[in-house]
Amino acid sequence: MIETSIVEVLERKARQLRVHCLRTTSEAGSGHPTSCMSAADLVAALFFHVMRYDPQDPDDPANDRFVLSKGHAAPLLYAAWAEAGAFPVEQLDTLRKLSSELEGHPTPRFRWAEVASGSLGQGLSLGLGIALNGKYLDKLDYKVYVLLGDGECAEGSVWEAAALARRYKLDNLVALIDVNGLGQSQRTMYEFDVESYRDRFDAFGWFTLGIDGHNFQEILSALEVAQRVKDQPVLIAARTKKGKGVSFLEDRDGWHGKPVKKGEELERALAELNHTEGNSGADRSAGKDRPTSSRRISVAGIPSVPPGTMEPPYYRRGDQVATREAYGTALVKLGDVDPRVVALDGDVKNSTFAEKFLAAHPDRYFEMFIAEQNMVGAAVGLSTRGKVPFVSTFAAFLTRAFDHIRMSAISRVNIKYVGSHAGVSIGEDGPSQMGLEDLAMMRAVPGSVVLYPSDAVAAERAVELAARYRGICYIRTNRPKTPVLYANEETFEIGKAKLLRSTPQDRVTVVAAGVTLLEALRAWEELQKESIAVRVVDLFSVKPLDEVLLRKSASETSNLVLTVEDHYADGGLGDAVAGALAPHGVRVHKLAVREIPTSGKPEELLDAAGISARHIVQRIKEIL
């Protein structure tokens, strides 16, 4: 039995959390108070009795971590941290205001939020990544607690995470499901059937418990059991009531995302919670002793990899090397000099060449299997703990994880995505395997850098540049072996292109990257024979663009530009160039993949798509 005094303290805390959630959402005129109120008892138990943390130092590596997967319950998260002493309780009244860090769904603008959440079904993956870091990399004994809503458990990414957590025996990961039975528009799939959730997690190999989520004896007993479980993650399915504590809100339809009206309605709700002024912030001593860290790990302001520390490329011009293979080579070199670098791959490591990193640094490689959403989510979690994840798979398969990728941008994390097998040049495998949308996807991610190396030297330099860049970077690699174009000493920069062919007589600027750069160079040779001079630019950095070089080249070629890309016509390299140059009166013509391709040999497919050297020559003649 848990001591009565502890239960009384936590009951008061839970009531105060509910009061904060009601008050702040009413003041804001929007929010999800009833979703907060169902989980208030669970959060009170965690924050004020179970979790070890320093509320003044969220970056302390020894802290237990809390991930709010059901991000619409953000007011509850803010209230818990305020009550824990992280910031003044009065600041809660700024909820959802433009200048406030207390946003409608949490982002790391609020420094005690581990990650951005609110796009449901992602929190367990994020917690999994943090747990992987604690158990296998930093070897710290912190626990990771993830609070999920029952409705979001319909998301497949939850079960991707559940499977992998058991695979890695993450006994430092505890998931709590707030089974309040109500979704946004109707009852959830299993309503209050706690055993259904237990059965499903049981099937994935978790240790599971079912409890009354408003009974502190059961809550605390379950959390105590979770401390003792070994080699298994723990699931606590807690039956709760949405709007708990207020009779006209409890388990009632029509209140999701709806605040209580200020005035009489709010006062009535507060009266039912027996609220009295002045009790906020009491009983903070209910929490566990704060952690003491034996070593400090910097996770804020991650330093850059010092220039020149990574072993340079070593190739001969003309050697046939796939850029995807050069990626694997460079990743090993980077791992040799930067212990923060980790690699994750989705069971295609022998195609992306991430297997090279596995062989060289097996303790920093995580196999994520064919579950790309969870792979990205776990990388986000690892990044929050100061690691630099390189996430690789086929470019086509990254598209299914786009929601997780865009949320990683909102989380402001430091992740490098690598998409191989891009474009029709992969050949016979057919259109399902061809990444033809990836440039458009990654260009749309705020703050992202998009690099498209055209040979092995550029690919190695792209890996080094990506590691130095603090934020999201995407590297596009190709399947076929292609000739080495650049000397090993060649330098590359984010935001800079390469001018490969140029004369004062040039009449058109051809902009390409990857395999189409090789086609452009072949076209240049053919046009030379006919005394037609054209300029060739390697658009190594697709985002940001080298607008200075592009505008200069265009102005010197009668403002005529032709882009060539192994990508669909919308949103890729051509649109990037056109977007930068069209406002300056430059005519940009695009060669791109305009129909769904088929299987075939790479050279056949490039020609069928209209992006081969033959088509470049033909289009230039038409332009002129």
- DSSP output for 269-282: HHHHTT--TT-TTT
Instruction: Name the CA dihedral angle for 316, 322, 327, 332, rounded to a multiple of 10 degrees.
Output: -60
A 10 A CB-CB count for 362 gives 8
Range 498-623: architecture per CATH = 3-Layer(aba) Sandwich (3.40)
What is the per-residue pLDDT across 171-230, written as a single tens digit (0 to 9) for each?
999 999 999 998 888 888 988 899 999 999 999 999 999 999 999 999 999 999 999 999
Phi, psi of 384, deg, nearest 5:
-65, -20
Instruction: Name the CA dihedral angle for 492, 498, 500, 504, rounded to a multiple of 10 degrees.
Output: -140
Phi, psi of 44, deg, nearest 5:
-60, -45
All residue ranges of the chain with pLDDT < 70 are: 275-308
Using CA atoms, how far apart are residues 427 and 601, in angstroms rounded to an integer? 5
What is the per-residue pLDDT across 66-77, written as a single tens digit (0 to 9) for each?
999 999 999 999
**367 forms bridges with which residues in the sheet?**
345
How long is the chain? Answer: 624
Residue 304's pLDDT is what?
46
Using CA atoms, how far apart are residues 502 and 511, in angstroms rounded to an integer? 12
Evaluate whether 100 touches 111 at the Cβ level (below 8 Å).
Answer: no
Give the closest residue to 421 by CA, choosing from 300, 550, 270, 566: 566
Evaluate whether 489 touches 533 at the Cβ level (below 8 Å).
Answer: no
Give the closest residue to 76 by CA, choosing from 119, 120, 34: 34
The yes-or-no answer on residue 372 being catalytic is: yes
Question: Helix and strand tally (H, E) in the chain?
Answer: 21, 19
Q: Is 421 left (phi over 0), alpha (psi -120 to 50) or beta?
A: left
Residue 289's pLDDT is what?
52
325, 372, 464, 519: which one is catalytic? 372
Evaluate whether 198 touches 206 at the Cβ level (below 8 Å).
Answer: no
Q: Is 445 left (phi over 0), alpha (psi -120 to 50) or beta?
A: beta
Residue 191's pLDDT is what?
86
- Per residue, what are the HEC states of 496-547? CCEEEECCCCCCEEEEECCHHHHHHHHHHHHHHHCCCCEEEEECCEEECCCH
Using CA atoms, how far apart are residues 308 and 470, in angstroms rounded to an integer? 18
pTM of this prediction?
A: 0.94
Using CA atoms, how far apart are residues 76 and 94, in angstroms rounded to an integer? 14
Hey, where are the domains in the chain?
4-276, 320-483, 498-623
Residue 257's pLDDT is what?
85
Q: Which numeric CATH code is attached to 320-483?
A: 3.40.50.970
- Per residue, what are the HEC states of 162-196? HHHHHHCCCCCEEEEEEECCECCCCECCCCCCHHH
Using CA atoms, how far apart are residues 127 and 503, in angstroms rounded to an integer? 56
Q: Which residues contact 355 (CB under 8 A, 6 or more apart)?
A: 328, 345, 349
**287 forms bridges with which residues in the sheet?**
none
Orientation of helix 515-529 relative to helix 613-623, angle to 10°: 60
Q: Which numeric CATH code is attached to 4-276?
A: 3.40.50.970
Using CA atoms, how far apart are residues 53 and 142, in angstroms rounded to an integer? 9
Q: Is 498-623 in the same CATH topology as 4-276?
A: yes
- Across 495-510, b (16+ Cβ under 10 Å) vs e yields eebbebbbeeebbbbb
